[in-house]
């Protein structure tokens, strides 16, 4: 794993800032999250009204919550939203009642196998209310009457999402997507946001070939809304990556796009293998994060997903144990490093045509051999030039050359730069 770097510590600090906020698929928690993200990268924030038709879905009512609790007969709050946003069933409708524990139990959610953890539960599209609490808390509650309060509103409003664009040399786009809809869950949500932010800042320091569009949107309905509102831009999307679960201690996992052999798939697999990091590459499934929206058959975009431990693959997933101590600067720095390496390859991966294809051109008189003098990798660089010349037939990319030759991609790309400067190949 990569050593702790300044970005690793800074990303962890961003996770700590975002962690207390109560996010959902709509509402002021999303806006507050985007306000903080906007301090790091400029954002174009979009508000889409309730009732807007987006593909087969409809933008729901907006949910906001001010307070929620369960209080015993003495007025003591035995479950308190102020202590953790996970304590309330997401999208709970307002309620103010007194009821016996026997009746209240139907509205309580626990994790008996992890009695000290609080689960994360939601009810987005049906009117329910409820509380999430530790099993040990529930076990300690005596029979009796309890005051139940959920001070929330569910009313016409907006769905909020944001974009950040890093302009490139061409209008062809790479999408980087992360979800902003989960409350206090550090790995499943916030680590992905933090990595996306620092990846955007890194790209902004360069002059990338592609235009990179970062999407900060609520899961499922957010991606569907963006796709519905950007039909005219879809044909510009060449590649994409969904970031989630980016800070846990597990090994990196890349989930291929629906296409399976898209350029983004090959690049991520190449980078992970070449880096000798422990990793897994898995096939596409129509379940998980928003890659399933971008890869739905009507769009079939080349969008994969990068996580550490995948969706629902660790016990802390969607529980209070997914806190700021569960994610580390080292893990987030490592995820960011892989994203940088992958996008560096993606951005330089071109197909070339050999302008002197009949026989091997004389490299010495063009000073290409002389330029290698004294380099420790001179033989490798020379071989890279020969491979690039031989496979520059308009049908092979530099990644093809690297994979076929077994040479490092950076060496192959440097050879292409040198050959292009000498007028022997053109993109």
The string of DSSP letters for 285-301 reads -S-SSTHHHHTSTTT--
CATH class of segment(s) 6-60+158-348: alpha beta
| Tokens linked to 24 | 């959902």
Q: Report residue 105 CA to chain centroid gap.
A: 36
Q: Residue 378: helix, strand or coil by DSSP?
A: helix
The tokens of 9 are what? 């510590």
Point out which residues pair with 62 in neighbouring strands.
155
Residues with Cβ within 8 Å of residue 372, at least 6 apart in sequence: 378, 381, 382
What are the pLDDT digits (tens) for 12-59? 999 999 999 999 999 999 999 999 999 999 999 999 999 999 999 999
Helix axes 409-421, 378-391, angle to 10 degrees: 70
What residues have CB less than 8 Å from 180, skipping those under 6 apart?
Answer: 23, 30, 33, 34, 161, 189, 193, 216, 217, 218, 222
Backbone angles phi, psi at 395, to 5 degrees: -110, -10
- pLDDT for res 379: 83
d(CA 318, CA 86): 9
64 phi/psi in degrees, rounded to 5: -135, 150
CB 191 within 8 A of CB 15: yes
Residues whose CB falls within 8 Å of the CB of residue 104, separated by 6 or more in sequence, listed in order: 70, 146, 148
- The strand pairing partners of 213, in sequence order, are 165, 175
**Tokens 């971008």 sit on residue:** 294
Largest CA distance in the chain: 94
Q: Which CATH class is domain 351-426?
A: mainly alpha
Map residue 385 onto helix, strand or coil. helix
Residue 417 token pair: 């730069």
- What residue spans define the domains of the chain? 6-60+158-348, 62-155, 351-426
β-partners of residue 304 are 241
Single pTM value for the model = 0.94
Residue among 397, 402, 422, 427 nearest 412 (CA)? 402
Class of domain 62-155: alpha beta
Summarize pLDDT for 155-178 with one digit per residue, the tens: 999 999 999 999 999 999 999 999
Mean pLDDT, the chain cut into blocks of 10 residues (427 residues total)? 69 98 98 98 98 98 98 97 97 98 98 98 95 98 97 98 98 98 96 98 95 98 98 94 98 97 96 95 95 96 97 95 98 97 96 93 80 64 92 95 94 94 92
pLDDT of residue 47: 98
């Amino acid at each position: 794993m990569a050593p702790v770097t300044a970005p690793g510590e800074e990303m962890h600090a961003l996770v700590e800032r975002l962690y207390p906020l109560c996010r959902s698929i709509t509402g002021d928690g999303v806006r507050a999250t985007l306000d903080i993200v906007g301090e790091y990268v400029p954002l174009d924030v979009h508000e889409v009204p309730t009732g807007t038709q987006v593909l087969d879905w409809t933008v729901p009512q907006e949910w906001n919550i001010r307070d929620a609790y369960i209080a015993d007969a003495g007025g003591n709050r035995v479950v308190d939203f102020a202590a953790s946003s996970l304590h309330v069933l997401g999208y709970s409708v307002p309620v103010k009642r007194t009821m016996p524990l026997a009746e209240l139990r139907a509205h309580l959610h626990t994790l008996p196998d992890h009695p000290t953890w609080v689960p994360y539960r939601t009810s987005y599209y049906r009117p329910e209310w409820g509380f999430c609490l530790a099993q040990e808390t529930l076990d300690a509650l005596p029979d009796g009457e309890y005051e139940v309060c959920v001070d929330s509103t569910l009313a016409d409003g907006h769905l909020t999402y944001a974009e950040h664009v890093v302009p490139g040399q061409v209008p062809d786009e790479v999408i980087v997507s992360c979800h902003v809809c989960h409350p206090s869950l550090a790995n499943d949500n916030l680590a992905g946001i933090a990595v996306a932010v620092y990846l955007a800042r890194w790209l902004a320091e360069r002059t990338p070939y592609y235009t990179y569009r970062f999407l900060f949107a609520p899961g499922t309905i957010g991606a569907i809304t963006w796709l519905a509102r950007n039909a005219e831009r879809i044909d510009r999307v060449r590649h994409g990556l969904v970031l989630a679960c980016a800070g846990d201690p597990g090994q990196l996992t890349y989930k291929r796009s629906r296409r399976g052999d898209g350029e983004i798939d090959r690049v991520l697999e190449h980078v992970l293998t070449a880096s000798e990091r422990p990793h897994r590459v898995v096939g596409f499934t129509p379940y998980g994060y928003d890659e399933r929206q971008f890869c739905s058959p009507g769009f079939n975009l080349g969008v994969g997903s990068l996580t550490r431990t995948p969706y629902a693959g660790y016990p802390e997933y969607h529980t209070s144990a997914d806190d700021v101590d569960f994610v580390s600067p080292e893990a987030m720095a490592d995820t960011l490093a892989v994203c940088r390496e992958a996008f560096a390859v993606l951005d330089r991966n071109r197909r070339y045509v050999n302008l002197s294809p009949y026989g091997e051109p004389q490299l010495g008189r063009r000073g290409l051999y002389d330029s290698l003098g004294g380099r420790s990798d001179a033989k490798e660089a020379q071989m890279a030039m020969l491979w690039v010349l031989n496979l520059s037939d308009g049908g092979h990319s530099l990644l093809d050359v690297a994979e076929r030759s077994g040479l490092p991609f950076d060496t192959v790309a440097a050879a292409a730069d040198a050959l292009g400067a000498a007028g022997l190949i053109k993109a």
